[in-house]
Amino acid sequence: MRVLVTGGAGYIGSHTLLELMAQGHEVCVLDNYTNATPEVLTRVRALSNGAVTDYVGDVRDPAKLDEVMQNFQPEAVIHFAGLKAVGESTQKPLYYYDVNVGGTLALLHAMDRAGCKRLIFSSSATVYGDPVYLPYDEAHPTTPTSVYGRTKLIAEQMLQDWAAAQPGASAVLLRYFNPVGAHSSGRIGEDPKDIPNNLMPFIAQVAVGKRAALSVFGDDYDTPDGTGKRDYIHVVDLARAHVAALNYAQTNTGARPFNIGTGDSYSVRDMVAAFERASGVTIPTQLAPRRAGDIAAMQADATRAKAELGWDAKHSLDEMTASTWAWQSANPDGYDS
Choices 64-72, 157-165, 181-189, 209-217; region in contact with ligand WQD by CB under 6 A: 209-217
Site for ligand WQD in 264-293 (CB under 6 A): 268, 291
Only segment of 20-28, 68-76, 93-101, 215-223 that touches ligand WQD (CB under 6 A) = 215-223
| Total residues found in the chain within this entry | 337
Stretch that binds ligand WQD, among 3-11, 157-165, 195-203, 276-284 (CB under 6 A): 195-203
Considering the complex, what minimum distance in angstroms separates the CB of residue 54 from ligand WQD?
Answer: 23
- Choose, by CB under 6 A, the member of 216, 236, 245, 320 that binds ligand WQD: 216
Q: Judged by CB under 6 A, which of 294, 310, 314, 316 binds ligand WQD?
A: 294
Contact between 197 and ligand WQD per CB under 6 A: yes
Binding of ligand WQD by 205 (CB under 6 A): no
* Radius of gyration over every alpha carbon of the chain, rounded to an integer in angstroms: 19
Please identify which residue in 176, 248, 258, 311 interacts with ligand WQD, judged by CB under 6 A.
176
Position among 65, 163, 182, 199 found at the interface with ligand WQD (CB under 6 A): 199
Residue 115-144 contact track with ligand WQD, rule CB under 6 A, x = bound: ---------x-x------------------
Among the listed ranges 16-24, 134-142, 191-199, 309-317, the one in contact with ligand WQD (CB under 6 A) is 191-199
Q: Is 148 a catalytic residue?
A: yes
> Taken in order 282, 283, 288, 292, is the CA torsion positive or negative?
negative
Q: Which of 166, 198, 247, 303 binds ligand WQD (CB under 6 A)?
A: 198
| The only residue of 178, 223, 265, 324 in contact with ligand WQD, by rule CB under 6 A | 178
Does 145 interact with ligand WQD (rule: CB under 6 A)?
A: no
4 in helix, strand or coil?
A: strand
Rounded CA separation 196/190 (Å): 10
Find the angle CA(179)-CA(240)-CA(39) to the nearest 5 degrees: 70
- Quote the CA–CA distance of 202 and 208 in Å, as a whole number: 10
Cβ neighbours, 10 Å, residue 47: 18
Residues 6+ apart with CB under 8 A from 115: none
- Give the C-alpha separation, 190 to 181, whole Å: 8
| Of 89, 318, 83, nearest in space to 181 by CA | 318
Size of the site for ligand WQD (CB under 6 A): 19
User: How far apart, in whole angstroms, are the C-alpha atoms of residue 333 and residue 336?
Assistant: 5
| Segment interacting with ligand WQD (CB under 6 A) among 7-15, 34-42, 197-205, 324-332 | 197-205
Q: Which residues of 141-155 are buried (b: 16+ CB within 10 A; e: fewer)?
A: ebebebbbbbbbbbb
Minimum separation from the CB atom of position 238 to ligand WQD (A): 11
Q: How far is CA 245 from CA 3, 45, 65, 85, 306, in A?
A: 12, 23, 23, 25, 11
Helix (H) or strand (E) holding 230: strand 229-230
Q: Closest distance between ligand WQD and the C-beta of residue 184, in Å?
A: 22
- Kindly state the smallest distance separating residue 255's Cβ from ligand WQD, in Å: 19
Write the CB contacts of 25 (distance below 8 Å, at least 6 apart in sequence): 1, 2, 3, 243, 246
Catalytic residue of the set 97, 128, 136, 148 = 148
- Give whichever of 32 and 205 is closer to ligand WQD, judged by the CB atom: 205
Instruction: List contacts with ligand WQD (CB under 6 A).
Output: 84, 86, 124, 126, 176, 178, 197-199, 202, 214-217, 228, 230, 268, 291, 294
Q: Which residues are catalytic?
A: 148
